[in-house]
Structure 1
């Protein structure tokens, strides 16, 4: 019998399978009667051929067999311009972000995110589709994420090789539980965002996304509020103040207090970061998402954590027991992003 090299296995199998499919309409052929041969296997059934092909595919994940070109699929790839998310401004007057003032009139189309034209570079708002559910498809509607910055909480949990990407949807839309949640119900940031976990995707729901690393919960100055907060079993978390500040050009410290300790100034988001306002009250006055939790506590106030004020497009803060919303963020190695 003439030997067939392993390099031809894919073409042979494709021909066998297509041939069987076409012949099935005319005559039923038992699969055990269909044979093939290569240099490594004498004769086997179609089932055996497919098994060998699967094994070869799995081998390709760890090393590339001689004569083959193996391309590893990345978790995230750049979105296409035609799939950028849009919303219609449906507020009473106008939709705007404060820094680099940009106003959309009632009925105008708001576009979220951007497509970089420079390979190998990342900037806040770059739109990506990430196969977090592991079904093998990049789904622009349900798996759209935006690059914010590299991972940073101001203390130890910082890594310039890990990108942090924010999900396009808020918990009011996907609702893992009730949609709106408190940061925690203990009245103190020293417990971390325990209740907010109820609206964050876990590793079963987003099985293809890396598990979030446990680490310290900090305030806006990097002071530790909660040691080694556990994200075990979670594939997403809240954004930190430092990440939003780095990506969105808000002041390094937005909190200023008057004589009675009330915050009287906020940190405006830049226009380039309007993606943090998608799926919120920003574009539609009937949307109940006014505030979206951040992970970081407020420096000097152990009862408060930062949030995104979507109505005013500010970084603001609220009592940890307030009922706000979540926008999940994922941690992705730069090596697992096609950019």
Structure 2
């Protein structure tokens, strides 16, 4: 620091020390500084614009690839049917909303049918890739899960090789053919233990609420055998089971395999008091004319039955492989079916 010190008569400093480099700028220096700042701002603005454009382009690519992953495209086989993705995996269309057969979690697909398909893939040396089939929006703008006909349409159009969404051989579907059946399902008439409803006669009176899964065969049986009942119908059989478990209903009627699984993992106090024998067989569908994939699926199913893998899978999911005209109480007591057999 350089400068001089001056004092007032009272001995105090009159001025601060002068600095060697004054804190003022010439007009030219100020203009240079403003010009430099403006240039820097323009450069930063240009860099920011490039960054924004890059991010937008990346988002667009991600959206496109995401759609491609969810909706596999045709792999260009001779029949024009998308039997597999680029890696040779069988593309499966499913609504993935039918517990315990097939359903979607946030990260995966689970269910008896899902595991069976993966075993089929292993037997045939193919992977399995699921793609959802959804219906149009309803009146509240909610996207509803696809019905069997939606799944079949997806397969017939070549958007998937195989359809699996609780499809039965009795379903009237266009443009597809059925595989060999992979699961039989009679219907079980159920009550909750220790509630006083231990046989069919106990639920035939007035004031009985019966929760049923939506099925024409169940509706016809209830109309004939439980004419006084108040019937509550659910699209999902598991919802009917929940009504019974919570005792909002005194009885429920659902697929026997679905009941067996529910008892196994959620509610051991339900019992079957009657079996409604049915011709309900679940099967896969492939596009009409896709004989190669149909043969692959049927051969794998036969092999899984022959080596015991099918029975092991049924035991792990239902406790036993469901058979026609049978039902089992939770305690293991046999129940006579409605045909008298």
What's the TM-score, normalizing by structure 2? 0.25
Point out the structure with the larger strand share: 1
User: Higher relative contact order by CA 8 Å / sep ≥ 6: 1 or 2?
Assistant: 1
What's the TM-score, normalizing by structure 1? 0.25
**Structure number with bigger Rg:** 2
